[in-house]
Structure 1
Amino acid sequence: MFAAYVTLTVVAAFLAGSAAVTYLIGHDYPKAQVRMKRLPMWWMPMLGSVLAAGAIGLLAGFAVPILGVLAAAGLVLYFVGALIAHLRVGSRDLVGWAVFVTTMTATLVVTLIHRW
């Protein structure tokens, strides 16, 4: 179980961190996603910051377990919000979302099992 916990946490932190960087540097893909979801462009740095905080929280969870649990739960909620944003505008392109939410949910479950 420890190997699954470490692997999933590192993969989830990498995914969230990579997404955070693309939002924070203003890459074209997140800009297109924000436009498609009809969200204000000024949300991009906030969305990137939430993803970055989640990635850092997952890694901090190795030292302070409750931070890892809270970060994983927060990332799951973030991607539930992303699903709502997709569905609100009628987008059915959910493959990327599914990868992220599955990874974050699995990380939350394995973290909870490993820690408690």
Structure 2
Amino acid sequence: MFIAYAVVATLLALAAAGSAFMTFTRNPQVTGGMIKVGVPESRLSLLATAKAAGALGLLAGLVVPALGAAAAGGLMLYFVGAVIAHLRVKNFELAPAALLALVSAAALVLRLTSA
């Protein structure tokens, strides 16, 4: 199970880090969707920091299991919140957030079962 966690966590960390980078640099593909669902532009850096911290936590979770579980759980909550934000404003372009929420849940389960 640890190898499965390592693979899933690494891929999820890459996705979260890439998303964080694109949010920090105000890539219109990422930030446009966030603004469309009502995220104030002043909060974008905070959300990017949360994604970056999740990515680092997943990688640190390869060594410290509790940190990996916390990071996976945090990212899962982040992306579930993103899905809810999309649904709240009836914006159904939520596939990326939903997929990342599911992958985060898988990382959490894998980290908890591989300890």
| Fold agreement, TM-score > 0.5 | yes
The TM-score, its normalising length taken from structure 1, stands at: 0.94
| 2:65 matched residue in structure 1 | 65
CA separation of 1:37/1:19 partners in 2, compared to 1, >3 Å: closer, same or farther? same
Shift of 1:97: 1.5
| 2:54 matched residue in structure 1 | 54
State the percentage of identical aligned residues: 38
Give me the whole-angstrom Cα distance separating, in 1, the residues matched to 2:17 and 2:104.
12
Shift of 1:49: 0.2
Over aligned residues, Cα RMSD in angstroms?
1.0
| 2:17 matched residue in structure 1 | 17
Give me the whole-angstrom Cα distance separating, in 2, the residues matched to 1:60 and 1:32.
31
Unmatched 5+ residue regions in structure 1?
none
| 1:102 matched residue in structure 2 | 102
**Could you give the per-residue CA deviations for residues 7-49 of structure 1, whole angstroms, max 9, x where no partner exists?**
0110111111111111111111122112210221011101100
Number of positions where the alignment pairs a residue of Structure 1 with one of Structure 2: 115
Amino acid at match of 2:104: M
Contact kept, 8 Å, 2:16 with 2:55, in 1: the verdict is yes
The TM-score, its normalising length taken from structure 2, stands at: 0.94
Unmatched 5+ residue regions in structure 2?
none
| 1:82 matched residue in structure 2 | 82
